[in-house]
Amino acid sequence: MTSEIEHTPRYAIRLARRDELTKLPAIELAAAQLFHATTYTWISSDTGMALADFEHWLVNGKLWVAVDATDEPVGFAVAHEVDGNAYLHELDIDPKHGRQGLGARLIDTVAAWAQTSGYRAVTLSTFADVAWNAPYYRRLGFRVLDDDELGPGLREVRAHEAEVGLTNRVYMLRPVG
């Protein structure tokens, strides 16, 4: 996928620009507020990724933004390679712009990049029991991986998530192509 803007009446998806990185932590924090009403309420007070992390993903992965009609970021997706597949590291939409299909469009953008990059699938990790997590991804064509299907990279992701308190996670895959 190129940096061309994909247009809809109110929103577009495109690669992020360096000058937008300072806006992404606020989107992540706003999206985290949705966890306040779950058993993972502590996530709503988590500081999220540092600006240096966004810099890293801009250079060492792919970072797309969903932008509104004024070209301001309202959501983002981060992807990179894990175990020879595209891995959706993070997806956040500012709740003020939720329920507009932006998450699905960002995921489709990641899948298109995965396909053109020669990956066979997009993988991710998510909460099994949060409605806008695993059930949402299932509706978008992902399936839960069995433990014996996890490669060393996803096992490393699982170990890191456990270290930081992320529990009840599932690892999912969506074929591309």
Residue ranges and CATH numbers for the domains of the chain are: 6-175 (3.40.630.30)
Whether the pTM exceeds 0.85: the reply is: yes
Partners of 77 in beta bridges: 64, 91
Q: What's the pLDDT score for residue 37?
A: 86
Give the model confidence (pLDDT) of 85-124 as tens digits: 999 999 999 999 988 899 999 999 999 999 999 999 999 9
Give the model confidence (pLDDT) of 11-64 as tens digits: 999 999 999 999 999 999 999 999 888 888 888 888 788 899 999 999 988 999
Ramachandran angles phi, psi of 131, nearest 5°? -55, -35
